[in-house]
C-alpha cells in the first residue's frame, strides 16, 4: 500500500513518514501542490494525505483537480482550521476524512486504516474469467475494462457461466439455474439471452457447444 503525503513542512513530513512506514505502508512525499497533483494521479498511489495550507496552488484546488481525474482515491485532509463549516466544506469538496493540526500519529493511522478499509474497495465478491469481470456487490460487469450494463436476467446468466468457467451448461440446466423453471422444453429464452449477452460482451466470450450447451471461454487474455 502506497501513501502519498503532500505537505510543505519538513518536520511534519518526516514525522508522518516514520509512523506510516512503521505500520507497513510505503510512503511518497511531495512538497507542493503541483508535484502532489502529478504524483497523486499515478495509479500506484492508494491514498493521499493532503495539507491544505500549501504554498503556490491552494490545497482546495489540488483536491478538486484530483477528484476530477481520480474520483475513487481516498483523501485525508490536514488543516489548521477547525470550524464545522470548514469541515463540511472540505468533505463536500471531495475529502474523505479530515484532521486538524496538531494530530497524533496513531490518530492518523486509525484514519488511514479506516479509509483503506471502507473507501478503498469495499465490494462484494468479484468474479473474473475470460476477460470478463462481474462485481456481485455493485452489480456491474466489465469486459477488458469497459463497463457493460446488464439486465437482471443477463446478469444472472453470466453469473452462472462465470462461476464455472469453461464448463458447459445445457439449456435445461440454465433454465433451471437462472430462471428457476423445472419444466417446459418449448422455449428459446436461453438462446435469446445468450444472443443478447454476446452482443454486449463482444464476440468470442460465450461459446456454443452444439448438442450440449454453452460455456464461457476461459482462455488467458
Helix runs in the chain, H state only: 10-22, 33-40, 59-69, 84-93, 105-114, 152-163, 171-174, 189-201
**Minimum distance of a copy of itself from residue 201's CB (angstroms):** 13
Q: Is 204 in the site for a copy of itself (CB under 8 A)?
A: no
The residue from 192, 204, 219, 221 that contacts DNA (CB under 7 A) is: 192
Q: Tell me how many residues contact DNA (CB under 7 A).
A: 25
Name which of 18, 12, 57, 10 is nearest 38 in CA terms: 57
Listed ranges 8-16, 33-41, 104-112, 176-184: which one lies at the site for a copy of itself (CB under 8 A): 104-112
The residue from 34, 41, 80, 88 that contacts a copy of itself (CB under 8 A) is: 88
71, three cell numbers: 474520483
CA distances from 67 to 61, 72, 80, 117, 210 (A): 10, 8, 22, 19, 50
**Minimum distance of DNA from residue 85's CB (angstroms):** 24
Q: Which is nearer to a copy of itself, 142 or 171 (CB)?
A: 142
The residue from 17, 65, 70, 198 that contacts DNA (CB under 7 A) is: 198
CA distances from 66 to 41, 48, 75 (A): 7, 10, 9
Name which of 204, 203, 189 is nearest 154 in CA terms: 189
**Minimum distance of a copy of itself from residue 8's CB (angstroms):** 25
Residues interacting with DNA, by CB under 7 A? 149, 151-154, 171, 179, 184, 186-189, 191-195, 198-199, 208-213
Amino acid at each position: 500500500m502506497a501513501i502519498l503525503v503532500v505537505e510543505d513542512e519538513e518536520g511534519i513530513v518526516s514525522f508522518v513518514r516514520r509512523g506510516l512506514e512503521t505500520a507497513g505502508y510505503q510512503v511518497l512525499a511531495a512538497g507542493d501542490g503541483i508535484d502532489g497533483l502529478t504524483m497523486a494521479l499515478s495509479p500506484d498511489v492508494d491514498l493521499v494525505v493532503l495539507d491544505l495550507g500549501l504554498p503556490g496552488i491552494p490545497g482546495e484546488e489540488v483536491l478538486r483537480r484530483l477528484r476530477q481525474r481520480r474520483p475513487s482515491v481516498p483523501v485525508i485532509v490536514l488543516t489548521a482550521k477547525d470550524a464545522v463549516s470548514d469541515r463540511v466544506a472540505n468533505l463536500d469538496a471531495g475529502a474523505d476524512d479530515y484532521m486538524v493540526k496538531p494530530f497524533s500519529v496513531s490518530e492518523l493511522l486509525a484514519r488511514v486504516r479506516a479509509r483503506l478499509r471502507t473507501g478503498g474497495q469495499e465490494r462484494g465478491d468479484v468474479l473474473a474469467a475470460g476477460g470478463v469481470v462481474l462485481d456481485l456487490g455493485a452489480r456491474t460487469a466489465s469486459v477488458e475494462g469497459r463497463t457493460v450494463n446488464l439486465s437482471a436476467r443477463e446478469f444472472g446468466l453470466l453469473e452462472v457461466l462465470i462461476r464455472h468457467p469453461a464448463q458447459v451448461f445445457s439449456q435445461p440446466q440454465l433454465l433451471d439455474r437462472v430462471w428457476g423453471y423445472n419444466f417446459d422444453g418449448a422455449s428459446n429464452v436461453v438462446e435469446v439471452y445468450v444472443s443478447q449477452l454476446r452482443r454486449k460482451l463482444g464476440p468470442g466470450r460465450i461459446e456454443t457447444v452444439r448438442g450440449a450447451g454453452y460455456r464461457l471461454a476461459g482462455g488467458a487474455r
